[in-house]
Amino acid sequence: MALKFIDLFAGLGGFHFALEELGCECVFASELKEDLRRLYQVNFRGCRIEGDITKIEPEDIPAHDILCAGFPCQPFSQAGKRQGFKDEHDRGNLFNYICAILQKHRPRYVLLENVANLIGHDKGNTWDVIYHQLSDSVENGGLNYEVKQVILSPHQFQIPQHRRRIYIICENRDYGKLDNFQFPTTTTRKCDICKIIEEDDMDYIPLKEETRNQLSVWQEFIDQCVSHKVEIPSFPIWAMEFGATYDYRLIAPAKQSISDLQGKKGKLGSSIVGNSIDECLSCLPIYAQSKKDKTFPDWKIRYIEQNREFYVQNKKWLDKWMLKIQNFENSHQKMEWNCGRENVLPTLSDKIIQFRASGIRVKLPTYSPALNLVGTQIPILPWITLPKSEKNTKESKGRYMTRKEAAKLQGMKKLKFGDDNFKLSVPRSFAALGNAVNVTIVKHLAKRLLGL
């Protein structure tokens, strides 16, 4: 008889895809967001899916053998407020609803997924609470589950995406103690992003002319480095520091006096002018305007030093090049060359490009950066030739990764993005994929856990 499972905080159904492929049956799912619930019903017709799990009593959930949950990661993520169980919106305490369901139904197995930082959050205290709630004996207020955890990334299984997540595996001690369970063997072999690319996929977003121009200007920067026999910097390039002379080492500009700032050079070497601190600060790079701390952190001081030194050494050709980026958005005036130097062509056209808040990131076409919750940070694949179509009237190169390709990175080859009655938008699709549970990794773990 098929093992029954429930899928909590279900999202796109990563656990569902994995366990269904292993012959298990989903008897209940929950997902807070209405559009994702509708898409879940498109992909898993007939499966009962509810909304807010806090509104469902544990006894109203069907009996099951496996509880799966990619429980909300915001309270535990380095990118969030890092409040853990003290999260002001009570998201961290959603883990307690998982515990209430486990207490009521006592399923044999538990599969949980979260951000890798969960293990170190609050100096390990958050993980300590989770571990003891699951592992301690009933007499000591726990749930009496054997618990193991591991941090894995798809690229360790030859899937071209770097995305570290913690996977928590549990077995009810009434049945066993994970005696025969072993985590899957991983590999260090290089990945190839071309494994997931579908060049004939017409559901793509073409690059805007503005984006093409920005990449062209940064390619010129690289070309200038090569022609002047200068190594492409391995540190983040903050072009707005080129020509700047404001003081930053001992005290942050926001804590300086107006007279300390006036007369010096700010962003892209422009003069600092103004009759107030705010007016003077507006002449600086955006990251130098912070009023929070009296001094800059060491890493920021180091990056400013490196960029100013690079400018002094290459002023002759940089002054002319800087004119071309002066009207770029702040984040587009930064570039991170994450390609190394050995046997690497000094070109953008064969690399993966990602426009991030921290700058334009360039990396080798081995694996994709982690899919991001922000739809504007979809990886760019510059080398792909676009066929002529209504959206592309002349043959050109370069487009964003498609939803279908991103779904393959998450092991969701069967994922549908809608039907005749409902379709998920492209930005929402990428946001959901960025938060999805990786099907391939879950299958590896579940096969070993269930002895299949």
Question: Could you read off the pLDDT of 83-133 as tens digits, one per residue?
Answer: 545 555 554 578 889 999 999 999 999 999 999 988 888 888 888 888 999
Query: Quick one: pLDDT at residue 333?
Result: 97
- Is pLDDT at 441 greater than 80 in this prediction? yes
Classify domain 4-189+407-449 at the CATH superfamily level.
Answer: Vaccinia Virus protein VP39 (3.40.50.150)
Name the residue among 185, 110, 117, 183 with its Cα closest to residue 150: 183
> In the chain, which segments carry CATH 3.40.50.150?
4-189+407-449
Question: Could you read off the pLDDT of 407-436 as tens digits, one per residue?
Answer: 999 999 999 999 999 999 988 999 999 999
pLDDT band at residue 1 using 50, 70 and 90 as cut-offs = confident
Query: Quick one: pLDDT at residue 122?
Result: 81
User: 94-105 vs 125-135: helix axis angle to the nearest 10?
Assistant: 10
Q: Which residue has the higher pLDDT, 79 or 177?
A: 177
Q: In this predicted structure, which of 20-24, 120-124, 324-328 has the lowest mean pLDDT?
A: 120-124
Query: Quick one: pLDDT at residue 218?
Result: 98
pLDDT band at residue 369 using 50, 70 and 90 as cut-offs = confident
pLDDT band at residue 391 using 50, 70 and 90 as cut-offs = low
Question: Could you read off the pLDDT of 260-314 as tens digits, one per residue?
Answer: 999 999 999 999 999 999 999 999 999 999 998 899 999 999 999 999 999 999 9
Taking residues 64-74, what's their average pLDDT?
87
- Is pLDDT at 228 greater than 50 in this prediction? yes
Question: Could you read off the pLDDT of 163-188 as tens digits, one per residue?
Answer: 999 999 999 999 999 988 999 999 98
Query: Quick one: pLDDT at residue 373?
Result: 58
pLDDT band at residue 73 using 50, 70 and 90 as cut-offs = low
pTM of the predicted protein model: 0.86
User: Residue 124 contacts by C-beta under 8 Å, 6 or more apart in sequence?
Assistant: none
Query: Quick one: pLDDT at residue 82?
Result: 46
Query: Quick one: pLDDT at residue 91?
Result: 47
Residues involved in catalysis: 73
Which structure tokens are listed for 416? 């549908």
In degrees, rounded to 5, the angle at the alpha carbon of residue 81 between the alpha carbons of residues 292 and 433 is: 125
Mean pLDDT of the chain: 91
Taking residues 319-341, what's their average pLDDT?
94
pLDDT band at residue 386 using 50, 70 and 90 as cut-offs = confident
Sheet holding 237-238, edge to edge: 237-238, 334-338, 359-363, 352-356, 380-386, 396-400
Please check whether residue 339 is in contact with residue 313, taking contact to mean a CB–CB distance below 8 angstroms.
no
Dist. CA 234–CA 312, nearest whole Å: 17
